[in-house]
Amino acid sequence: MDIVGFLKSQFICHLLICYIFIVSGLIINCIQLFTLILWPINKQLFRRINCRLAYCISSQMVMLLEWWSGTACTLYTDPESYHKYGKENAIVILNHNFEIDFLCGWNFCERFGVLGSSKVLAKKELSYMPIIGWMWYFLEIVFCKRKWEEDRKTVVQKLLNLRDYPENFWFLIHCEGTRFTEQKHQISMQVAKAKGLPKLKYHLLPRTKGFAVTVQCLRNVVSAVYDSTLNFRNNENPTLLGVLNGKKYHADLRIPLEDVPEDEQECSTWLHKLYQEKDAFQEEYYRTGTYPAVPIIPPRRPWTLLNWLFWALLLLYPLFKLLINMINSGSSLTLASFAFVIIIASVGVRWMIGVTEINKGSTYGNNDNKQKQK
């Protein structure tokens, strides 16, 4: 292992990265709070400012993938469609199999210049999470409780609010509703059998109502639906802890929005058919290690690294100055207090990483045999 690889594996480096992320994130959240005064005066200015503030947070996560780990990103797509990416609003359908698939989705948003304005359909609990959740609140992210009877009105209203959004955006949606596990897959296929739907080998049944409403509300706003299927070479199963190792992923397909039916039932049928096609592509990938499309590597932009370096220079100097003063003081109580803070910070970092782990993920989908499939 070379010296750079050794340093990347050291926990103290990880702790410093998390320190920069947490402190800068809380600073940005405070700035976002003050931007609320702009909403009644100039809503579009409020939105544009918050897109840039959100970029300052989310780009730090992307920096880890692009620059710290050196992950290579290959996109398999139609070259004729490639030039449209980032220049049009789009709904992006993502599979939900890996612990860092959200980060890979952000990475593609960054490559095409829509990271700061990207949207998601997220569970309500995330809105209370400091930094990311609070950032999403100011980005007008669509939050739901995963109870469709309660969610429909709120989701529709939030989606309609995006119709006059001033920035190009990608709306990222995991139609499966929860991350793939073998237990959830077995339950999902029981539901498929009960409903007479085709079984899937590598995906959960898509939850069609949220997707149908998203298409209906954004039909005249978005220009396309992108079907993005994420995989890692050599059957690797990456984690946020393992992102320091170089990983590669692939996404494919672009489907024009006009091909998606307007009727909710027809849209549901269309989505089920799409997931059968995704399953076939997954089968092909496992067999050949590639996708049947032209590989393109979107260029890596420098802005994620420059943003991180700015915050690192701003925040590390006062931290190191504080440490030096504490050491020079020679106070046992001061040093013990510092050690306690480090321990708390370590626990906090581990908790944040644990949020992404599959074995600690949502139980949503485990009880579908007791609940009505959405």
Domain that holds residue 126: 3-304+356-360
- Residue 94 in any domain: the answer is yes
Q: Which two tokens stand for residue 302?
A: 């420098």
- Residue 72 in any domain: the answer is yes
d(CA 222, CA 48): 18
Q: Kindly state the average pLDDT of the residues 13-31.
A: 90
What band does 187 get if pLDDT is binned at 50, 70 and 90?
very high
State the pLDDT at residue 253. 46
Q: Kindly state the average pLDDT of the residues 21-32.
A: 95
Q: Kindly state the average pLDDT of the residues 285-310.
A: 89
3-state secondary structure of 139: coil
Question: Is pLDDT of 355 > 70?
Answer: no
- Residue 127 in any domain: the answer is yes
Question: Is pLDDT of 327 > 90?
Answer: no
- Residue 156 in any domain: the answer is yes
What pLDDT, in 10s, does the model give residues 258-268?
A: 678 888 888 98
- Residue 56 in any domain: the answer is yes
What band does 121 get if pLDDT is binned at 50, 70 and 90?
confident
For 108, phi then psi, to 5°, come to: -65, -35
- Residue 328 in any domain: the answer is no
Stated as kind and residue range, the H or E segment containing 322 is: helix 303-329
Residue positions counted in the chain? 374
d(CA 359, CA 290): 28
SS3 of 247-315: the string is: CEEEEECCEEHHHCCCCHHHHHHHHHHHHHHHHHHHHHHHHHCCCCCEEECCCCCCHHHHHHHHHHHHH
- Residue 319 in any domain: the answer is no
Give me the sheet containing 72-77, strands edge to edge: 231-232, 248-252, 72-77, 294-296
Question: Is pLDDT of 47 > 70?
Answer: yes
Residues 6+ away with beta carbon under 8 Å from 174: 94, 95, 96, 101, 121
User: What CATH number should be reported for the domain holding residue 44?
Assistant: 3.40.1130
Question: Is pLDDT of 85 > 70?
Answer: yes
- More confident site: 352 or 332: 332
> Residue 72: which of 245, 229, 242 has the closest Cα?
245
- Residue 337 in any domain: the answer is no
Q: Is 146 left (phi over 0), alpha (psi -120 to 50) or beta?
A: left
Q: What is the pLDDT of the chain when averaged over all its residues?
A: 83
- Strand 248-252 relative to strand 224-228: parallel, antiparallel, unpaired? unpaired
Query: 372: how many CB neighbours lie within 10 A of its CB?
Result: 8
What domain count does the chain have?
1
